[in-house]
Amino acid sequence: MEEKKTKRILFVDPILQKGHVVFNQIYINALRKEDVKLSFVFVRGFDENLVFPKDHLIYSIPKVLFKYNLGMIGNRICYLIALFLLRINVKFKEYDEVIFSSFEEISFFFFRIRNAYLVNHINISKIDSNVKYFFLKRVLKKNKLIVFDNTIKKALCLKGNFDVIVQPHGLAKPYTNNYNDLSHLDSRFEDKRFDGTIFSPSDNSSDTVFLSRMINNQKFINFLEKMNILLILKGNFDIKHDNIIVINFHLPKETYNAIFSKINIILIAYPNTFKNRVSGVLFESFANNKPCVVRKNDMLTSYLKHFRYDPYFSNIDRLINAIENIISFNNKEESFYKNLEELEPSFTHLF
């Protein structure tokens, strides 16, 4: 009987994005469970944040290409230079499969790679853009796209006949019980008079118009006061109230993790333009068993089967109801979520 050949897999992240450290580790861990031989390419220094056999790192992209924000055109030129350096220094033909854990569609169009697996993060989030789609369509005609759920796959398949594979994002390890004293940020973090805390951690993705309307709604303010709830908002909001903390500055990861560990409820309020992508905050909530209230969105309602309660709201009245439901939730299962194993990636059938 012919001996089964171990597949050689090349895992590449050609873009320096600190926010992808957790995702890359999740996928690397899943790949290492398979009977494959893994090799890696990262931007220089990025590998220091990851756990994998460092002797399997075959090439490091110069970090200088990602040192400055050079604008839309300048950044894409740097991305393209990074890809051409890969072409020169990496022998792609030696590998059975190549996975790019992130990509930028315009530079990839000129890179001219074929038959690779490309992981979608926000690449099709603005698929209605004619310019983005022009390049993305041509890249996907020659490669396979990995998306994180079926809703994203359906949206893309409506646009054309592409090779799309659903592979869940996966859950990171829960934060350690990092109950550091946060009084240096605001003394109210340690104020024992509050019976509960709510945290809106996303300033870039959140619907700031809705959140501004929320914190200026008297019924919602009365609810916070009545329930002795402290609301922590990440972003630029002009309000001063004993029950509201606004954080308008960068939080170190350790501080962010400490806040996430300390609070009781996560608030996720994305605009309707949040499309064809997954919510990192939602997956953080899953991983840490933190209950969340979620503004209704076509992308996020598909996760209802993973909740043991109804988390969704569409207006401020329903937001109050959703928070009250969590407060009164009889958590006999000791978990707010279920079927989370379905959110873990597996490459067994892919390779």
Dump pLDDT digits (tens) for 270-306.
998 888 888 999 999 999 999 999 999 888 888 999 9
Residues with Cβ < 8 Å from 185, sequence gap 6 or more? 245, 247, 255
> How many whole angstroms separate alpha carbon 194 and alpha carbon 230?
6
**Residue 329: left if φ>0, alpha if ψ -120 to 50, beta else—which one?**
beta
pTM above 0.85, yes or no: yes
CB 124 within 8 A of CB 274: no
Given the structure tokens 């990636």, which residue do they identify? 345
pLDDT tens, residue by residue, 80-132: 999 999 999 999 999 999 999 999 999 999 998 999 999 999 888 767 777 88
Other residues' Cβ atoms within 10 Å of the Cβ of residue 19:
9
Measured CA to CA, the distance from residue 167 to residue 149 in angstroms comes to 7
Taking the CA atoms of 165, 83, 72 and 249 in sequence, report the sign of the dihedral they define.
positive
Do residues 207 and 270 lie in contact, with contact meaning Cβ atoms separated by under 8 Å? yes
The candidate with the shortest Cα–Cα distance to 188, out of 151, 233, 222, is 233
Task: Read off the tokens for 351.
Answer: 């390779």
What are 144's strand-pairing partners? 117
What percent of the chain is predicted at pLDDT more than 90?
71
Written as one letter, the residue type at 18 is K
Instruction: Tell me whether residue 101 is exposed, middle or buried, using C-beta atoms within 10 angstroms of its C-beta: 0 to 12, 13 to 18, 19 or more.
Output: buried
- Assign 259 a pLDDT band (cuts: 50, 70, 90): very high
305-345 confidence digits (pLDDT tens):
999 999 999 999 999 999 999 999 876 667 999 999 999 99
CA–CA separation, 12 and 74 (whole Å): 22
Q: How many CB atoms lie within 10 A of CB 115?
A: 11
Sign of CA dihedral 50, 52, 54, 58: negative
